[in-house]
Amino acid sequence: MRIPRIAFRRPPELPVHPHWSSSVFSNDIVSVPLDPKRRPLSPSVFDRIKLKSNLFYLIAPSNAYMCPDLVETIRPYLNTHPDVSIFYGDDVVLNVRGAPHVAHCKPAFNKALLSSVDYVGFPLIIRGSALIQVDLRIGRQMEGAWYQFLLEAAALGLSIDRIPHTLMAAPAPRAEASRASRQLILAREIGLARLPLAIMRGLTTDSIRLQRKFLKYPSVTLVIPTCQSRPDGSPGTPHIINLLNSLNRSTWPLDRINVLIGDDIADDSIYNGRKDRFACQRIVTTRGTGEPFNYAAKLNRLWRAVQTELIVLMNDDIVVRNGDWLEALFTYASERDVGGVGARLLYPDGRIQHAGMFGGIHEVAAHPWYQMSGNAPTYLDWALLPRDCSMVTGAVFATRRAVLELANGLDEAFSLDFNDVDLCLRLRLLGYRIVYTPFAEMTHHHSASRGISFAPGEQVGLFLKRWRDALRDDPAYNPQLRTDAEQVRSSGIATRWVEEMHLTGEQS
């Protein structure tokens, strides 16, 4: 049923830009067009005495075109999510001819991504109660004020979520906070909260990297199962030895690194003569005659033998590339609300193996940008940005012992595949975030730890029965993104009304 359109009620001094005139608002939505400096055309709309807690304030650049069916599109979200204080929608950047150039299809509120780039931008739909609770600084220059508003609202525990529809189209440049302004805002917020974080340049021109400062490095244990496999089955150096050798590149103090190896091979001759500066313990994990291989059970046995709180589960076919990989992982994995952190994994030839995982692609869980060049551009640079994900691979998984104990480790019903994805999804149900960081970049030979094999059909069925609905609606993805390929891109739905507007000449 279509919701009837209601005459738009607004304060009499609030002008409506001509580009907004074709949009029909309801009597509880106040439009707030912004000038090029992100200031409201009528600043008095945010006077404390005028703000109404029961109204919604729609904020967007004054040169933006709003979705023709704006009220009908957003109304279900406003009505059914009374706990959400701030909504944001997808937006499209127009080229010089007024046609769609880039569609920004946004994930649900993504703390890690927001710390790196202003992915939210506009439009914003803010409850009056949030504007009353969070101080919005109206001034001559408000280019970063809306970004700061979001950070402060999140810090106060206000709920922020997206409406996965294209609500706005505007010409370039996109209205978002610059890196310089975000650096100043983050520095202020970090200082006020006394967080041990350093602000650094990210991997892209406009992104920021936050890195935890460890005044005293805690001990960490690397849990590494192995069967002493070698690259491509050749007589060369075993993977586990290559990994151990590469640990010397780590900037984390080596005397604070412990390595626990679970070795399926009783013969320990490959380790003879090693004089590592990190502590190394080896547990023989040979199986009895006829005992089936269970990778999840092996990992559970190993992590339960760990004495430190900080743990990294690792495949043995990993090689360290950048020295501060542990600092990158535990920048996030040390946070109380984070359950696990995954690394950026490249094949030896530089192709992408893992940059986070998304649900819904091919109706299951998939690795986006799989086997693309690590230098190839990705959708909105997501492969090079830290992001909250629903799932990451267990090939490099940083976590804490308390988290694994709460989840009771990996589900041993998934003996080969899915145990890492299942663990991530269960941790999210427990309220933990899962984070992907591109700053821990590793080489991964992939599947050498246990060989290439496929999960039995009953395990595939169990996984899909348990998680099919969650995978279809992955909050880290967006229903306006394609699900038929690993190369993430927007679908035609994201730009449909914008293209119709362009073709009919309504933008002129």
| Residue in this structure with the two tokens 């244990």, named with its chain if needed | 221
CA dist 328 and 117 (Å) reads 17
Q: Return the number of other C-beta atoms located less than 10 Å from residue 381's C-beta.
A: 17
Structure tokens at 111: 């703390």
- Count how many Cα atoms sit within 13 Å of the Cα of residue 428 in the half-sphere of its side chain: 20
Span 220-472 CATH architecture = Alpha-Beta Complex (3.90)
What values do phi and psi take at 252, rounded to 5?
Answer: -65, 135
- pLDDT score at 14: 39
Q: Is 33 helix (H, G, I), strand (E, B) or coil?
A: strand
At CB < 8 A and 24+ separation, what contacts does 199-207 make?
202/116, 202/117, 202/384, 202/385, 203/384, 203/385, 203/438, 203/439, 204/117, 204/381, 204/384, 204/385, 205/179, 206/117, 206/178, 206/179, 207/116, 207/117, 207/179, 207/381, 207/384, 207/385
| Residue in this structure with the two tokens 């086997």, named with its chain if needed | 371
- Count how many Cα atoms sit within 13 Å of the Cα of residue 344 in the half-sphere of its side chain: 23
Q: Which regions in the chain score pLDDT beneath 50?
A: 1-15, 22, 448-452, 507-508
CA dist 248 and 242 (Å) reads 11
Q: Could you say which of 3.20.20.70, 2.70.70.10, 3.90.550.10, 3.20.20.140 is the CATH number of the domain covering 18-191?
A: 3.90.550.10
pTM strictly above 0.85: yes
- pLDDT score at 289: 72
Structure tokens at 242: 């290559």
18-191 matches 220-472 in fold: yes
- pLDDT score at 11: 35
Amino acid letter, residue 158: L
- pLDDT score at 233: 65
Domain residue limits, the chain:
18-191, 220-472
CA dist 87 and 161 (Å) reads 5
CA distances from 303 to 91, 220, 325, 396 (A): 44, 12, 20, 14
- pLDDT score at 291: 79
189-228 pLDDT tens trace:
999 999 999 999 999 999 999 999 999 999 999 999 999 9
* Structure letter (DSSP) for residue 45: G
